Amino acid sequence: MVTIKDIANRLGIAVSTVSKGLNNASDISEETRQLVLDTAIEMGYTSKKLKASGSRKVCIFIENMDYENIEQFGYEIIVGFKLSAARRKWDVSVIPTNLNLQTTEKYDSYMLRNGYSGAFLLGFTLHDDWVKQLNKTTVPTVLLDNYIEKNVHVGYVGTDSSEGIDSAVSHLYDLGHKKIAFLNGAKNSMVSEQRRQAFVNSIIKHGLIPEENLIRYGYYVPDCAKDHVPGFLEDGATAIMCASDLIATGVIAEVLKHGLRVPEDISVIGFDDLPIASQLSPSLTTIRQDRTDLGKSAFLLLDGLVHGISTSKLLLRAKFITRESTGPRKA
């Protein structure tokens, strides 16, 4: 196991200087501090203080995702994680991040300097600086909805979209729909690509033809509906599946604007089952992601990684929920 002395020997500096560097003391230069941190990380050092104390400090980094109240996607994920963490007496900090934090300091360095044993990353994309650094990190890290190849210290937690999407397509098919559109979330995200593939597979499985003009990438906001719904309607879609409940609210608004009714003229299906889904009128047929369980599972995965169990993927089942926003295809 790497000690402070090993780091001091490698750098040819005093143990006390290494200690100052690791503990963020103010009486050493910024360069020395960074050199100590970089070397410590490279050598795989973990502070004894961390290891000895039963309680661990971990953090949840979050960006591009709302989480402040129970109506929002991230809220219950964080609650689930904290619930599980509390039982093990882990101390959890929730840290909103932005590009600035990521460019100011490297991920491993930030984690070591702040004494975090691990992290759960929410809302990050593969383009984020810190996510790019995860190929080489030695810090136990769990990502929601994104996968890092071949690093035993990083795991991926998410919902298996394909079964939920297949159930939704079956439901629409049974109601007589043949022209089913899919308004996806943002491009260049692993989960969006998985959902597109699942949708195409299910359409083919049901003997229908996947039409490129009915399968579009949008964004995870209601507003993206107005760019795509007119085209869907023009092309004869009688049902629109969405990659989130929020997108579905935008789709319903857009459908109404065209003088059509949901579900009498157009059926609409959401994704997530946020609280709003059951409160809408008509209430929203949707594919549920259990967010509390996602948070709990992320904790389990992180706990495993901290103890050397290299889980690469943990996927929850999606649950299809039928409500009022879907109905038989108009004859």
Q: Is 167 in the site for a second copy (CB under 8 A)?
A: yes
Residues 189-208 that bind a second copy (CB under 8 A): none
Q: How far apart are CB 165 and a second copy at their closest, in Å? A: 12
* CA–CA distance, 234 with 236 (Å, rounded to integer): 5
Cβ distance to a second copy smaller for residue 127 or 150 = 150
CA 64, CA 61: separation in Å to the nearest integer? 11
Return the structure tokens found at 113: 């300097």
DSSP string, 61-107: EE-SS--SSTTSHHHHHHHHHHHHHHHTT-EEEEEE--HHHHHHS-H
Q: Report CA dihedral (148, 120, 244, 275) to the nearest 10 degrees.
A: 160
Closest separation in Å from C-beta 101 to a second copy: 28
- Side-chain-side CA neighbours of residue 245 (13 Å): 24
Closest CA to 91 of 317, 299, 249, 282: 299
- C-beta separation of 70 from 275 below 8 A: yes
Least distance (Å) between residue 259 CB and a second copy: 38
Q: Closer CB to a second copy, residue 8 or residue 157?
A: 157
The correct pick among 297, 302, 321, 327 for binding a second copy (CB under 8 A) is 297
CB of 288 to a second copy, least distance (A): 10
Identity of the residue, 25 or 309, whose beta carbon is nearer to a second copy in the bound complex: 309
Q: What residues form DSSP beta bridges with 59?
A: 93, 119
Shortest Å, Cβ 300 to a second copy? 6
Residue 163 touches a second copy, criterion: CB under 8 A = yes
Nearer to a second copy, 161 or 184 (CB): 161
Report which DSSP code applies to 266: -
310 makes contact with a second copy (CB under 8 A): yes
Q: Give the integer Cα–Cα distance in Å for 5 and 28.
A: 18
Binding residue for a second copy (CB under 8 A) from 92, 276, 300, 321? 300
Looking at residues 122 to 161 of the shown chain, list those that interact with a second copy (rule: CB under 8 A). 149-150, 152, 160
Does 57 bind a second copy (CB under 8 A)? Our answer is no
Q: Going by C-beta distance under 8 Å and a sequence separation of 6 or more, which residues neighbour residue 54? A: 89
Binding test (CB under 8 A) with a second copy, winner from 49, 88, 258, 313: 313
Interface mask toward a second copy for 276-295; x: CB under 8 A: --------------x--x--
**Using rule CB under 8 A, residue 317 touches a second copy:** yes
Distance CA 15, CA 21 (A): 10
Q: Whole-number minimum distance, CB 201 to a second copy, in Å?
A: 13
Number of residues that bind a second copy (CB under 8 A): 22
Nearer to a second copy, 112 or 144 (CB): 144
Nearest to 144, CA basis, from 162, 126, 129: 126
With respect to a second copy, which residue has the nearer C-beta, 282 or 304? Answer: 304
Kind plus residue range of the DSSP H or E element containing 180: strand 180-184
Q: Which burial class, exposed, middle or buried, applies to 37 when counting CB atoms under 10 A from its CB (0-12, 13-18, 19+)?
A: buried
For the bound state, the minimum distance from the C-beta of residue 91 to a second copy, rounded and expressed in Å, comes to 22
Which parts of this chain interact with a second copy (CB under 8 A)?
149-150, 152, 160, 163, 167, 290, 293, 296-297, 300, 304, 309-317, 319
